[in-house]
Amino acid sequence: MKVKIYSWVLAAVYLLCGVWLFVVVPVFRKVMYSEAGVTPSRLMTKIVLAVGPLGWLMLSILAAVVIVLKDLRYRSRLLNALFSVFLFCVFACVVSGLLVAGFGPRLGSTP
C-alpha cells in the first residue's frame, strides 16, 4: 500500500513542531526562571515545561511515525482529520502556555 502525500506533510509538520519546541522550551525555561526564581503559575506553562524539550521531540517523532504507519494499515480520511485537529489543539495549548505565561492576571493575586 502507498502512503498518501497528506500523511507525509502532516508527519513533517509534527516533526517541525517538535524541533521548534526542542529549541524554544529551554530558552523559555531559562528566561522564566532567571527572573528572581519566579516559578510559572499557569497550568499549561507547567505542563509544557514539565514535558521538556526532549519529551516534545520524542512525542512529535512518535506522532509522525504513527501517522505514516497508520496509512499502511488503515486508509481513513477521518484519522487524518483527527490527527490534524489534534495537532492544532496541542500546538494552540503549547503556544498559549509559553506565550501567555507572563501576561494576564495570576491566580491568587490581588488586583
Look at residue 58 in the predicted model and tell me its pLDDT.
92
Across 43-49, average pLDDT: 79
Look at residue 37 in the predicted model and tell me its pLDDT.
63
* Structure confidence at residue 70 as a pLDDT band (50, 70, 90): confident
Across 21-42, average pLDDT: 75
* Structure confidence at residue 104 as a pLDDT band (50, 70, 90): very low
Q: Is 7's pLDDT higher than 80?
A: yes
Q: What is the DSSP string of the chain?
A: ----HHHHHHHHHHHHHHHHHHHHHHHHHHHHHHTTTPPP-SHHHHHHHHHHHHHHHHHHHHHHHHHHHHHHH---HHHHHHHHHHHHHHHHHHHHHHHSTTSSPPTT---
Across 46-70, average pLDDT: 86
